[in-house]
Chains A and B, each alone.
Chain A
Amino acid sequence: MTQFKRRDILKGMGGLAGLSLMGAGPLRTALAQGMASDEAWKQASGTTIQFISENTPPTTAIAANLASFQELTGITVNITEMQLGALVQKVALDFGAGRSAFDVIYADPYQVLAPYHRGLVDLNTFINDDQQPVVPQGIEDFIPSQLAAAGRFKDSESLYTLPYDCPTMIWIYRRDLFEKYHDQMQQDLGFDPTPSDSTTWEQYYQIAEWFSNGNASEVQYGTGHQALQYDSLMCDFSNVLFAYGGDYFANGQQVGLLGTDSPGECQLTSEPALEAARFYQKLLKVAHPGSTSWDWTGVANAFQNGEFAMMPEWHEFAGSLESSPLQGKIGYAPLPKGPARSANLWGGTGIGINANASAEKQKAAWLFLVWATSPQTQLMGLKSEVGGGTPTRQSVYDMPEVKAASTPPTDMPNMLTADTMLTAWQDDHIGLRPKIAQWNEVDTVIFTELSKMLAGQMSPEETMQSAKQRIDRIVGA
């Protein structure tokens, strides 16, 4: 077998800085020179691997550009895309069977990583292997909070996935309306309504009410929410909960970043959590009534149809919104702050390798992981005409062409949110739900109880009490 020395592999790494200037260009050459020798890339040639992924924009872009990876490595990748729920079932059953129908796994931190991390390869095995291509610019290039939240579980050493996508909830609003009615709003409300770091959730509510009172002819309501009895409702509420200083478990940020097997007692009956629930109930009363039947896609469609002026929404919707009739009329900001902070729920995911896969397939899978999360592939995703997500690496945001694309007009619409996102991912802004094995069940309790609250069946106090009791039973606290 051909042996590769680290210096062979690192050969050409000096040119990495230049990579950022090369654009998507001849990807094969750039990657081969930047990360390893041709031999290193070809070491699993002829292998076929299976990649299971949620049907997300980054995978759509990667699927459209797989030819460059196959040319580089000689590896064939079959991609299976599906809804996250279906993916979790397939992965769980794959692990249960002790087989490897899928070699590369889109490992949602809460539904796959936390319960099934033992089924994933610790990537340090490959990172420390001289024969493998290096992760360009090292894993330190990934946004730190995303690396921990997507890739680690329980300890800060083992790494199960590389950050692959990073949808995060931010404040998306009709900039044209905020500009048009700025003076009138300021006069009526007594504060500058322009969304900024200093806007509070209480002010968000007042702005929403102002629009809903018929002060702007363009929209009927001020705010719309993803409050369908579904995961989306938990996401929407969590932004408020964290902002008010509440959390699901004690030491919430740590439980969100690294995860735990024993989160302890649920904290939803704390005063900040109760205050958050009260506020959320009040906010939803002035929101578009359709909110209780919309998930993230539904609320984005309604926003695009001009139903309301603003919404908390995943930032990756910017791509589709900027190609709608609202192009150029939309503004982006971190979510409002509460008494504690501004919290922007992170919903990113990493990709990992199935530990049941054969050694040959694991090697091929690692080559795919390195390629799929490389700066050049992420740049390709940004430019892709079929979608593409937003980068998970700092170096991509530092590329001059990417920086230039963060102001309109742009051919990378997702980059219009770049400044907002770099704020939203900071440790004091990012919102992290608990990374625990029982999350699916806990999540269901949260959105079911909240749905009862929004339907008027329970008060905020009863809702939080009932949720706490059920969650404590589930986690065994």
Chain B
Amino acid sequence: MALTTGKPSAQRQGFELAMMSPALFLLALITLVPFFSIIWMSFNDVSLMGGLAFEFSGLENWKRVFTDPDIRSSWLISLVYFLATVGLEMVIGTVMALLVYSLTRGSNIIISMLLIPMFIAPVIVGLLGRFMLDPSHGLYAWLLNESGLFDGNILGSVGSAMVAVILMDVWEWTPLVALIVLAGLASVPEDTLEAAEMDGAKYSQKLIYIILPSISNILLVALLIRAMDAIRFFAIIFITTNGGPADSTKIIPIRLYDIAFRFFDLGYAAAVGITMLVFSIMVATAFTKLLKRQETSS
């Protein structure tokens, strides 16, 4: 059988496009229409009563987005939350993966156990966290109190509530990072490691000069996946603190939920939602560029 090489003919391209067009049309319908609707909504006051109605309000919603102190404060809290969760998950996940990779026996069982938190729905993690940290009957609250480490109300105090929700997210998603890094560790060149060992390199030197550079791409992928998820984090905070106390855990998705589904200020919510989308695209673009640069250099 003769193999065809080179670019497909224009006729064939046309045929492929015709075959794909229903799917492309459907995809456009379910993504582009809502996308442009949301952009249009952000320039309107939207009313739900008696059917959806738009009243053009110009740049009013956008002006509010950039002048509202509550939105500013929520972005700041989101940034703290984002850096803390993603940072901790990357560091702890990498360490976990290295430890598991170094095991000679029982690694499969350990991996299975490590992955358990990841399979629990975030809502359940929130409910579990609320239960364990309850000041009257929560096990963790009791342990912290008995050990003298913390005797306040964990979810009811500014500071500790933020730490608690960050740790809940870290507990749930660090295993995902560990799993991705573990997959990457399999690609670290054994011969290079052996050569380094022969030259008397210490573990820390192998880690810094061989292992981490070898898995840098995979680390970036893990970072990208967790970063995208952290931006839209919602369930655990919604269940445990609902943004409190004193708005100290009111990250931007919680604020957006309030504006959209409690106040039904849908025009303003659309504007806030678009800023979240832009932020996500910026983060994703930055990581993708890094990844490409990494691939080019290697």
Question: Which residues from chain A sit less than 8 Å from chain B, CB to CB?
Answer: 85, 88-89, 92-93, 95-98, 115-116, 118-119, 227-230, 288-294, 298, 301-302, 305, 307, 438, 440-441, 444, 448, 451-452, 454-455, 457
Contacts and interface: CB of A to CB of B under 8 A. Distances in A.
Interface in B188-242: 241-242
Nearest to B152: A289
B12 interface: no
A230 B262 CA distance: 12
A291 B156 contact: yes
A217 to B, nearest CB: 17
A462 to B, nearest CB: 13
A298 B265 CA distance: 30
A448 B247 contact: yes
Nearest to A85: B262
Contacts of A95: 48-50
A454 B263 CA distance: 24
A229 B156 CA distance: 9
Contacts of A288: 135-136
B51 A97 contact: yes
B244 A229 contact: yes
A438 B265 CA distance: 10
A74 B13 CA distance: 61
Interface in B33-64: 48-52
B265 to A, nearest CB: 8
Contact of A455 (B48, B50, B133, B157): B157
B155 A293 contact: yes
Contact of A307 (B136, B157, B262, B263): B136
B246 interface: yes
A93 B48 contact: yes
Nearest to A447: B244
Contacts of B246: 229, 448, 451-452, 454-455, 457
Given A228-B242, A298-B134, A289 B52 contact: no
Contacts of A115: 49, 264
A311 to B, nearest CB: 12
Contacts of A97: 51-52
A96 B245 contact: no
B61 to A, nearest CB: 15
B119 interface: no
A98 B261 CA distance: 18
A118 B50 contact: yes
B137 interface: yes
A98 B50 CA distance: 6
Interface string B156-170: 111000000000000
28 contacts: A95-B48, A95-B50, A96-B48, A96-B49, A97-B52, A98-B50, A98-B51, A118-B49, A228-B242, A228-B244, A228-B245, A229-B241, A229-B242, A229-B245, A230-B242, A230-B244, A289-B153, A290-B156, A293-B133, A301-B136, A305-B137, A440-B262, A441-B265, A448-B247, A454-B246, A455-B157, A455-B158, A457-B246
A451 B247 contact: yes
B122 interface: no
Contacts of B134: 290, 293, 298
A294 B265 CA distance: 28
Nearest to A86: B261
Interface residues of B, number: 31
A40 to B, nearest CB: 32
Contact of B247 (A89, A96, A229, A294): A229
Nearest to A221: B136
Chain A facing B: main interface SS? helix
Contacts of A307: 136
Given A96-B48, A293-B153, A455 B136 contact: no
Contacts of A290: 134-136, 153, 156
A119 B244 contact: no
A310 to B, nearest CB: 15
A294 B156 CA distance: 8
Given A118-B49, A290-B156, A301-B137, 13 more contacts: A92-B264, A93-B48, A116-B49, A230-B244, A289-B153, A290-B153, A293-B134, A293-B155, A302-B136, A438-B263, A440-B262, A448-B247, A455-B245
Nearest to B249: A229
Nearest to A220: B136
A289 B262 contact: no
B117 to A, nearest CB: 23
B262 A444 contact: yes
Nearest to A98: B51
Which of B242, B244, B265 is packed against the most chain A CB atoms within 10 Å? B244
A289 B135 contact: yes
B245 to A, nearest CB: 5
Contacts of A302: 135-137
Nearest to B47: A96
Contacts of A294: 156
Query: In this complex, which of B246, B258, B262 has the most chain A Cβ atoms within 10 angstroms of its Cβ?
Result: B246
Contacts of A98: 50-51
Contacts of B153: 289-293
The 4 lowest CB-CB distance pairs between A and B, nearest first, are A229-B244, A96-B48, A292-B156, A293-B156
Contacts of A454: 245-246
Nearest to B46: A96
Contacts of B262: 85, 88, 440-441, 444
Contact of B263 (A116, A441, A451): A441
B126 interface: no
Max chain A C-beta neighbours (<10 A), residue from B48, B136, B258, B263: B136
A108 to B, nearest CB: 13
A293 B241 CA distance: 7
B243 interface: yes
Central interface residue in A88, A89, A229, by most chain B CB within 10 Å: A229
B157 A229 contact: no
Contact of B135 (A293, A440, A457): A293
A307 B246 CA distance: 24
B156 A96 contact: no
A392 B154 CA distance: 39
B233 to A, nearest CB: 18
B168 to A, nearest CB: 14
Nearest to A293: B156
B207 to A, nearest CB: 42
A237 B134 CA distance: 22
Contacts of B133: 293
Nearest to A291: B156
